[in-house]
Amino acid sequence: MIRRARPFGSGSLLVYLLALVAVIVTLGPVVYGALGGFRSNEQLARDPSGLPDPWVFSNYTAVLTKEAFWRYALNSSIVALITTAVAVLFGVMAAYPLARYQFKAREPLFMVFVLGLLFPAAVAIIPLFILVTRDLHMANSWWGVALPQAAFALPITVVILRPFLMAIPKELEEAALMDGASRIGIFWRLVIPLSVPALVTVGVLAFVTSWNAYLLPLLLLQDDMRTLPLGVADYSSEHSSDTAGVLAFTTLAMIPALILFLAMQRRIVSGLQGAVKG
Amino acid sequence: MIDEDVDTSTASAPLGGATPRAVRRVAPRPVGSGWRQRLEIAFFVTPALALMTVFVVWPVVAAVRMSFYRWKGFGPMDDFIGIDNYRYVLTDEVFTDAVTHNFIIVFASIVIQLPLGLAVALLLDRKIRGRGLIRTIVFVPYVVAEVIAGVVWYQLLQPESGVIDGLISAVGLTPPEQGFLGTPNLALATVFVVLTWKYLGLAILLFLAGLQGVPTDLYEAAQLDGASWWQVQRRIAIPLLGPTIRTWCFLSMIGSLQLFDMVWILTGGGPANATTTMATYLVNQGTGRHNYGIAGAASVILFVIGFLMALVYQVFVLRRDTAVER
C-alpha cells in the first residue's frame, strides 16, 4: 500500500511521548510476565516490580522439560490445524458461489453466514457439549473440539472471502470456461491459487482463534487432551504460590501465536480492512 | 460476466430492446444454467452449511428446547415446565445483575475505548519514526489468548504481592485492602481496564486502516485554507471514519455481550457476583450446577438481547453506510 505523507506530518515531542506511553502500557504486562519467569519466587516476593537479579533459568527449563507442556502444545497445534483446514476449505467453497454465481437464494444464503456472526459460542455451549460427548462420542478428542470451532469460524471466513473472490478478474475464468474447463476444475486450478493471500488471512485468524480458545476446550477436553490455555489456567490455580513458574508457563504459551501474528501481520491487517469495508 | 452486472446494465441501459445483461448472460457461458448450476452451487455450499447446521444451528435450537424443561443432565428430558425457567432466570438477581454488567461493559467500551482508540489512531496516522513498529506493538495484546492475558493480569493485580499495588503504593496511595479484583465496587471496573488493554489494539488497527482511505488531497486543501490539525481531524478525518467507527461499535457490542474468558479467569464472576456476566451465569448454571434448563433459558435470553441489539443497530445506524456506500 503506497501512502503519501500527510500534511501536519512531522511528529512533535508530545506525539512521541504519547506513543511511548502507549507502548509501555501495552507491552508492560507481557514483558513483566517474560521477565518474571526469569526471577525466583523469593525475588518476586521481595520486590514485585524489580528486574531479575540474578537471572534464574530454572522456571523456563522446568516448563520446557515438562512432558505435559509439550503434550498440551501438540494438542493445541493439532486442534488449531484441523480447525483452520476445515474452516478455510469449507469457507472458500461456500464463498465462491456467493461471489460468482447469480441465483435467487444468493443474498439470503449470504445472510445466513452474516447471522452466524451473531451467535456467541456461549449460547450453544451446553447443547454443543451434550452433542459432542453423548451423540457423536467425540468428547476428549481433537476432532470433537476442532469441528465445532471450525463451524463457528465459518461466518467470518465467508464474510472476509466473498468480496475478495468478487475482485478476482472474471476474464480469467471466462477464458478457462471457453477452453472447456469445468466450474469445479476452475475452482481448484484457478480460484484457489489466486486467492492464496486471502486464504492466509482467514487461515491465520482461524488458527489464532482456535489456539486461544478456552470455553469449549474447557468443557470437552480432560487430562492428556487439554490444550495450552487450559494448561495455563490449571497450572495457575494449582501452583498459585509458584508465581515465577506460572509466569514462565504463560510466557512460553504466548509465543507461538505471537510469532505467527508477527510473520503474518500485513495480511491480517489487510484482511481486517477488507472485512470492515464489507 | 455472471455477477454484478446489475450496475453496468443500469448504467449503460440502451434504448429499449435487449439489455446488455441478457446478452452477456448467454454469450460467454458454454454450459447452460439450470440443474447443472444448481448442482455446482450445492457442491460448493453444502459442506459449510452442513457443518454450521450440526454445530451451530442444532445446538442453538436444542438450547431453546432445553429451556422449557427441568433437566439435570441425566435421564430423558421429559419434565416440561413451560416458561418456569425463564421466570426463574428473569427474577434471579444474579442474572439481572449479570445483564447490567454486560450493558455497563457495552456502554463503557463505547464511551471510553472509542475516544481512546481514535486518539491513538489519529496520533499514529502522523508521520512519526517507528510508526510501523508501534502499530505492531499495540496489536500484541489482541493476539495473546484472553486466558493467558488474564493469568498475567491476575498476577499483576494480586493484593500486596502484585506490581499494580506496588506502583500505587510507590506514588503514595493506599491500594484497596482486598485487592482490585477482590473489592466488589472495583472488580468490574478492573476487568474493564484489562479488557481495554486487550482490545484497544484492534480498534486502533481498524481506525488506522480506515484513515488510509481518506484522500490526502482533502487534508492538503484544508491545510491551505488555514485549518489547524485538530480542525482537520474533527471536520474531515473523523467524519470520513464514520463507517469504520460504526462497524467497530457493532463488533464491540457483540463482544461485550458475550464476555466470558477474561471474567472467568480474573474473578470467576465474584466477589459476591460483582462481575458475573450472562455467559458466566449460564456456564455456572449449566456445567457447574447441572441446571441445564436454566442455562438454556439464560442462553436464549442472551441470544435475544444480542439479536435485538444487532437489529436495532442495523436499522438505525449501519443502514446509513450500506445506503451510502453501495
Residue with the bigger pLDDT between B236 and B51: it is B51
Q: How is residue A10 annotated by DSSP?
A: B
Q: Is residue A2 part of a domain?
A: no
Contact B126 A170 (CB under 8 A): no
Q: How is residue A38 annotated by DSSP?
A: T
When pLDDT is cut at 50, 70 and 90, the band that residue A256 belongs to is confident
pLDDT the model gives residue A275:
56
One domain, residues A223 and A128: yes
Contact B223 A7 (CB under 8 A): yes
One domain, residues A49 and A72: no
Q: Is residue A5 part of a domain?
A: no
pLDDT the model gives residue B96:
96
One domain, residues A192 and A250: yes
Q: How is residue A133 annotated by DSSP?
A: I
User: Span A180-196, mean pLDDT?
Assistant: 88
Predicted confidence (pLDDT) at residue B31 exceeds the cutoff of 80: no
Q: Are A97 and B44 a contacting pair, CB within 8 Å?
A: yes
Stretch 80-99 of chain B: residues touching chain A, C-beta under 8 Å: none
Residue with the bigger pLDDT between B135 and A65: it is A65
What is the rounded CA–CA span in Å between residue A106 and residue A85?
25
Stretch 56-75 of chain B: residues touching chain A, C-beta under 8 Å: 56, 58-60, 62-63, 66, 73
Predicted confidence (pLDDT) at residue A253 exceeds the cutoff of 80: yes
- Bridge partners of residue B127, in order along the sequence: A10
| CA geometry: angle A143, A144, A146, nearest 5 deg | 55
Predicted confidence (pLDDT) at residue B29 exceeds the cutoff of 60: no
| Residues contacting residue A43 through CB under 8 Å, at least 6 positions apart | A50, A52, A53, A56, A244
pLDDT digits (tens, 9 = 90+) for A108-157: 898 888 888 777 777 788 889 889 988 898 888 999 999 999 999 999 89
User: CB of B265 within 8 Å of any CB in chain A?
Assistant: yes
One domain, residues A22 and A119: no
Predicted confidence (pLDDT) at residue A81 exceeds the cutoff of 90: yes
CATH number at residue A253: 1.10.3720.10
User: CB of A86 within 8 Å of any CB in chain B?
Assistant: yes
One domain, residues A152 and A16: no
pLDDT the model gives residue B22:
42
When pLDDT is cut at 50, 70 and 90, the band that residue B225 belongs to is confident
Residue with the bigger pLDDT between A221 and A266: it is A221
- Bridge partners of residue B80, in order along the sequence: B69
In terms of residue numbers, what domain contains A255? 67-277
pLDDT digits (tens, 9 = 90+) for A198-250: 898 889 889 988 998 998 999 899 888 999 999 989 888 888 888 889 999 99
When pLDDT is cut at 50, 70 and 90, the band that residue B259 belongs to is very high
Q: Is residue A1 part of a domain?
A: no
Q: Is residue A187 part of a domain?
A: yes
| Nearest-by-Cβ selection for B209 from A166, A212, A273 | A273
pLDDT the model gives residue B2:
42
Domains identified in chain A, total number:
2
Contacting residues of A for B210, CB less than 8 Å apart: 276
pLDDT digits (tens, 9 = 90+) for A36-47: 899 988 888 787
* CA proximity to A29, closest of B127, B208, B148: B148
One domain, residues A88 and A185: yes
**Which of A1, A4, A8 best tests the B interface by mutation, with the highest count of B CBs <10 A?**
A8
Predicted confidence (pLDDT) at residue B301 exceeds the cutoff of 50: yes
pLDDT the model gives residue B8:
37
Predicted confidence (pLDDT) at residue B292 exceeds the cutoff of 60: yes
Q: What distance in Å separates residue B159's CA from the closest CA in chain A?
A: 11
One domain, residues A72 and A189: yes
Contact B307 A118 (CB under 8 A): yes
* CA proximity to B257, closest of B63, B95, B103, B109: B103
What is the rounded CA–CA span in Å between residue A47 and residue A111?
55
Q: Is the dihedral of CA B265, B266, B270, B273 positive or negative?
A: negative
What is the rounded CA–CA span in Å between residue B141 and residue B112?
18
Q: What distance in Å separates residue B80's CA from the closest CA in chain A?
A: 17
pLDDT the model gives residue A69:
92
What is the rounded CA–CA span in Å between residue B243 and residue B251?
12
pLDDT the model gives residue B16:
38
What is the rounded CA–CA span in Å between residue A169 and residue A266?
23
Q: What distance in Å separates residue B118's CA from the closest CA in chain A?
A: 13
Sequence length of chain B is: 326
Among chain B residues, CA nearest to A273: B209
Q: Is residue A4 part of a domain?
A: no
What is the rounded CA–CA span in Å between residue A213 and residue A208?
8
| Residues contacting residue B256 through CB under 8 Å, at least 6 positions apart | B102, B105, B106, B109
When pLDDT is cut at 50, 70 and 90, the band that residue A271 belongs to is low
User: CB of A263 within 8 Å of any CB in chain B?
Assistant: no
| Nearest-by-Cβ selection for B147 from A9, A154, A232 | A232
Q: Is residue A97 part of a domain?
A: yes
One domain, residues A148 and A219: yes
What is the rounded CA–CA span in Å between residue A104 and residue A217?
39
Contacting residues of A for B149, CB less than 8 Å apart: 29
Residue A229: asked if its preceding bond is cis (omega within 30°), the reply is no
One domain, residues A72 and A47: no
Contact A178 B154 (CB under 8 A): no
In degrees rounded to 5, what are phi and psi of residue B80? -70, 125
One domain, residues A139 and A45: no
pLDDT the model gives residue A251:
92
Burial letters B168-185, b for 16+ CB under 10 A, else e: eeeeeeebbeebbbbbee
3-state helix/strand/coil string of chain B: CCCCHHHHHHHCCCCCCCCHHHHHHHCCCCCCCCHHHHHHHHHHHHHHHHHHHHHHHHHHHHHHHHCCECCCCCCCCCCECCCHHHHHHHHCHHHHHHHHHHHHHHHHHHHHHHHHHHHHHHHHCCECCCHHHHHHHHHHHHHCCHHHHHHHHHHHCCCCCCHHHHHHHHCCCCCCCCCCCCCHHHHHHHHHHHHHHHHHHHHHHHHHHHHCCCCHHHHHHHHHCCCCHHHHHHHHHHHHCHHHHHHHHHHHHHHHHCCCHHHHHHCCCCCCCCCCCHHHHHHHHHHHCCCHHHHHHHHHHHHHHHHHHHHHHHHHHHHHHHHHHC
Mean pLDDT check: name the lowest of B13-22, B127-136, B157-166. Answer: B13-22
Q: Is residue A132 part of a domain?
A: yes
One domain, residues A43 and A75: no
| Nearest-by-Cβ selection for B155 from A89, A118, A246 | A246
Q: What distance in Å separates residue B15's CA from the closest CA in chain A?
A: 25
Q: Is residue A49 part of a domain?
A: yes
pLDDT the model gives residue B27:
42
Stretch 193-212 of chain A: residues touching chain B, C-beta under 8 Å: 208, 211-212
H helix intervals, chain A: 13-36, 41-46, 58-64, 67-100, 106-116, 121-130, 142-167, 170-178, 183-186, 192-194, 196-212, 215-220, 228-238, 243-277
Is the full-model pTM beyond 0.95? no
Predicted confidence (pLDDT) at residue A160 exceeds the cutoff of 50: yes
One domain, residues A167 and A82: yes
